[in-house]
Amino acid sequence: MFRAAATARLRRAASLLRFQSTLVIAEHANDTLAPITLNTITAAKHLGGEVSCLVAGTKCDKVAQDLCKVAGVAKVLVAQHDTYKGLLPEELTPLILATQKQFSYTHICAGASAFGKNLLPRIAAKLDVAPISDIIAIKSPDTFVRTIYAGNAICTVKCDETVKVFSVRGTSFEAAATSGGSASSEKASSTSSVGIAEWLDQKLTKSDRPELTGAKVVVSGVGASRAAVDAGFVPNDMQVGQTGKIVAPELYIAVGISGAIQHLAGMKDSKTIVAINKDPEAPIFQVADYGIVADLFKESIKKEKEGSLGGAAVWRLPLAQGAILETRDRIPRRAPGAWSLLLPLPVSLPLSLSLCDYHK
């Protein structure tokens, strides 16, 4: 009996794989592809079957060409029109529905970013299916794994919908190779404008640093906590946590962060975690690979020298385990200063990192 049941499951899985086809909605800025799209393509390849990518926007030829080179992509559908300027979900939804109807895709997915979280629920509602958000693994074409309760529990979801709509947590899947592919490119079916929303303008924060979710090193002080964002110390795009960015860098340094459940949900997949906190019972130490119990702002910080770097003072605070905290400015009180952490780690990364900053 058990053998017959197992055989039936294998036949059902083989049947599903034979007819699988996945549409990945590409997130981009016209000339550059969002890194999370590459992670989403990797997730789509786990489903088996053909993987197609839909690129919508204006002047996005370069993105389409780059996607054609991505390993595992069979087809790139391109829709260029002023209607899709700004990738408004109100305008993209009819396009995606028409594309799904034309090619009968069994799965539709995008990255679990602000873009994907805004778009996919609309598509699912129009298709009258239940979307699956923020998946971290794929067991079969109809079975997905996602986190619940701010990452404290893992839920396995089986979806019997005709079309599966889901978003992908980028940190849970490796990025697809950007070379080795030879996908074909063709125009997507055009749709008329809905006319209920209009793209006006977008103002992006300019920075020499990498985008937070793509950084190899992330250092979080109060500048990356929810309270500091609400207080106006740092912009929203620097927030790490359940309601902020989900990151999984090679090195994550938490300075003065207690480790609330919402913050841990956004960073506990990091490869190496270093925590500095004066409270030895802080929850952050439960997930940290290296923990230092120290008061960052205590009065015993000594001024080492003056006159360097245009007259700025240099302050140093020796910590346990041979670590040193250094700042070339005033001693911070209520807001973070320009601190640096010097700490030997078993990773090939710079040993000098700025507090509330992140670098490649």
Cβ(175)–Cβ(38) below 8 Å? yes
Backbone angles phi, psi at 304, to 5 degrees: -85, -45
pTM for this prediction? 0.70
pLDDT at 67: 96
pLDDT in tens, 145-155: 998 887 778 99
First to last CA, the chain: 56
DSSP 349: S
Cβ(333)–Cβ(233) below 8 Å? no
- What's the full length of the chain, in residues? 360
- HSE at residue 160, side-chain half, CA atoms within 13 A, is 0
Helix (H, G, I), strand (E, B) or coil at 262: helix
pLDDT in tens, 85-106: 888 999 999 999 999 999 999 9
Do strands 153-158 and 143-148 pair parallel, antiparallel, or not at all (unpaired)? antiparallel
pLDDT in tens, 121-157: 999 999 999 999 999 999 999 999 998 887 778 999 9
Q: Which amino acid is at 71?
A: A
Element (H, E) at 41: helix 35-46
**Residue tagged 């949900």 (tokens):** 265
Q: Which amino acid is at 140?
A: S
Number of Cβ within 10 Å of residue 69's Cβ equals 15
Cα 76 from chain centre: 23
| 326 strand-pairing partners | 316, 340
Do strands 50-57 and 21-25 pair parallel, antiparallel, or not at all (unpaired)? parallel
- Six-digit token string for 243: 């309601």
pLDDT at 91: 92
DSSP 240: B
Residue 199 confidence (pLDDT) above 90: no
Instruction: Share the mean pLDDT of the chain.
Output: 77
pLDDT at 311: 44
Name, of 51-65, 231-245, 274-288, the range with top average pLDDT.
51-65
Q: Which position has the higher pLDDT, 213 or 2?
A: 213
Residues 75 and 141: their CA atoms lie apart, in Å, by 20
Question: Which domains occur in the chain, in start order?
Answer: 20-187 (3.40.50.620), 212-354 (3.40.50.1220)
Helix axes 114-127, 89-103, angle to 10 degrees: 50
Helix (H, G, I), strand (E, B) or coil at 218: strand
Element (H, E) at 307: strand 302-308
| 25 strand-pairing partners | 54
Residues 218 and 209: their CA atoms lie apart, in Å, by 11
Residues 61 and 80: their CA atoms lie apart, in Å, by 9
Do strands 272-277 and 143-148 pair parallel, antiparallel, or not at all (unpaired)? unpaired
Mean pLDDT of 312-324: 49
Burial classification of residue 41, based on how many CB atoms lie within 10 Å of its CB (0-12 exposed, 13-18 middle, 19 or more buried): buried
Do strands 352-354 and 324-327 pair parallel, antiparallel, or not at all (unpaired)? unpaired
DSSP 243: T
Q: Which amino acid is at 354?
A: S
- Six-digit token string for 283: 């929850």
- HSE at residue 310, side-chain half, CA atoms within 13 A, is 2
Element (H, E) at 137: strand 132-140
